């Protein structure tokens, strides 16, 4: 990642990591989570749930930074993210 200005405390920063949970049966396929995930983690899948909607799937789950935006924007309480502390990555200079 390139920085416009390198943060002064870069050696102390860690990139948070999140584990995604998608409750497929509750999803109505609106795409809010897919559109606004800042890391492009999600995509609507080809698969159908029992109501005929396409729930999202994580195409690159390792990129998730646990920002919770998908969880906040989802109008159907169908996706959430849990922080995995053990997996935090050092910030690459």
Partner 1 sequence: MSVKVEELVREEHPMEKLLRMDRIPHIWCPTCGLGTTVTALAAALEQLELDLDNVAVVSGIGCTGRVAGYMKLDSFHTTHGRAIPFALGLHIARPDLKVIVFSGDGDLISIGGNHLIHTARRNVDLTVICVNNFIYAMTGGQVAPTTPITARSATSPYGNYEHPFNLPLLAASSGAVYVARWTALHVRRLTTAIKEAITKPGFSFVEVIAPCSTLYARLNKLGSGLDLMKFYHDNSVIRHGADLKEVDIDYQSKIAVGKFIDIEKPTYIDCMNEGGKRAFGDKYKPYGGGNGGN
Number of residues that bind ligand SF4 (CB under 6 A): 29
Task: Tell whether residue 83 is a contact of partner 1 (CB under 8 A).
Answer: no
Candidates 1, 45, 66, 93; binder of ligand SF4 (CB under 6 A) is 66
**Secondary-structure percent of the chain, ordered helix, strand, coil, rounded to 5:** 20, 20, 60
Q: Residues 4-43 vs partner 1: string with x where CB under 8 A? A: -----------------x-x--x-xxxxx--xx-------
Stretch that binds partner 1, among 1-9, 12-20, 76-84, 85-93 (CB under 8 A): 76-84
- Burial classification of residue 22, based on how many CB atoms lie within 10 Å of its CB (0-12 exposed, 13-18 middle, 19 or more buried): buried
Instruction: State the Cα–Cα distance between residues 12 and 18, nearest whole angstrom.
Output: 19
């Amino acid at each position: 990642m390139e920085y416009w200005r390198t943060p002064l405390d870069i050696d102390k920063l860690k990139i948070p990591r999140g584990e995604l949970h998608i409750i497929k049966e509750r999803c109505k396929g609106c795409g809010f989570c897919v559109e606004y995930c800042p890391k492009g983690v999600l995509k609507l899948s080809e698969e159908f749930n029992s109501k005929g909607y396409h729930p999202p799937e994580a195409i690159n789950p390792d990129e998730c930074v646990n920002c919770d935006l998908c969880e906040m924007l989802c109008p159907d309480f169908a996706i959430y993210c849990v922080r995995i502390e053990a997996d935090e990555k050092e910030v690459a200079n």
